[in-house]
Structure 1
Amino acid sequence: MSTPDRPAQFKPPAVDPWKGFRGVCSGTLILEAIVVFLGIPAVAKLGTGIDTWEIVYLTALGVLMILACGVQSRSWAMGLNLGLQVAMIAGWVIHPAIGVMGLVFAAVWAYLLYLRKDIEARIERGLLRGQRD
């Protein structure tokens, strides 16, 4: 029961509301890793070719994105995701096409941050399906 000095208490959701969100984040990372791996032959064909360090950078970035899918339940996962995004945008040094794709995915991650904030607000207000009687 709520009083003026104490807000209403909602029961916690019956199912984990973050499970779907973590899945979307993992799926986004997989899609981004595919783009990075497909960027290697594209960069090799465009311009003057690709150096060994550029192949190593893009391969390491793609592998890190795949590995990051497994830690989405951790509290620091979104920070890791955004750090990988910065590394993707920094790929502009390798080829502008990589940087542009980084900017495209930055828009996706900005929307995911908005969704995370919306989910948190819905949990606080008790509006999730599993929180209702």
Structure 2
Amino acid sequence: MKVLCSATLSLEAIVVFLGVVVAGTNGDHSNTGLIFSLGLSLMVILFLAVGTLRRTWGITFGWLLQIPVLALGFLVPLMFVMGAIFVVLWYVAIHQGSRIDALKAERTAQ
């Protein structure tokens, strides 16, 4: 599960930052500095969250980080779509990762 969740958070961090950079430079945004600083901060936090996945509260922290990703949609409307996609990917990573871990444990027990 940790591998899928780590990959999801890492890709989310990259997509959030690049999406914010592109959206901040295109269009007529009066708060470009705010958009860049929030995007960069969220990217760093998402990358740091990968390290928390080995702790018991890491998955919950990952769920909580989906909220600011979705909230970026108020500054960059396309982030609502990207945030929703990553919420689904996070859910799939948790559930499929648990399933894969159970299959691995079953295989090693034999």
- Aligned match of 2:15: 35
Q: CA deviation digits over 1:31-89, x for unaligned, max 9?
A: 11110111132112333134322222111110001111112100000111111111101
Unaligned runs of 5+ in 1: 1-20
Q: What is the RMSD of the two structures over their aligned residues, measured on CA atoms? A: 2.1
Aligned match of 1:14 = none
Q: Which of 62, 65, 90 pairs up with 2:43?
A: 62
Name segments (4+ residues, structure 1) moved above 3 Å: 116-120
CA distance in 2 between partners of 1:73 and 1:60 (Å):
22
* Greater RCO (Cα-Cα under 8 Å, separation 6 or more): 2
Q: Which amino acid aligns with 2:78?
A: A
Counterpart contact for 2:71–2:80, Cα < 8 Å: yes
Structure 2 equivalent of residue 129 of structure 1: 107
Q: In the comparison of the two structures, how many residue pairs are matched?
A: 109
5 Å-filtered alignment, 1:10-21, equals 21=1
Distance 1:45 1:53 in 2: 12
Paired residue type of 2:89: V
* Larger Rg belongs to: 1
CA contact (8 A) 2:5 2:94 kept: no
Identity %: 29
CA distance in 1, matches of 2:22, 2:80: 13
Q: In the TM superposition, what is the alpha-carbon distance from 1:113 to its structure 2 partner?
A: 2.9
TM-score after normalising by structure 2: 0.85
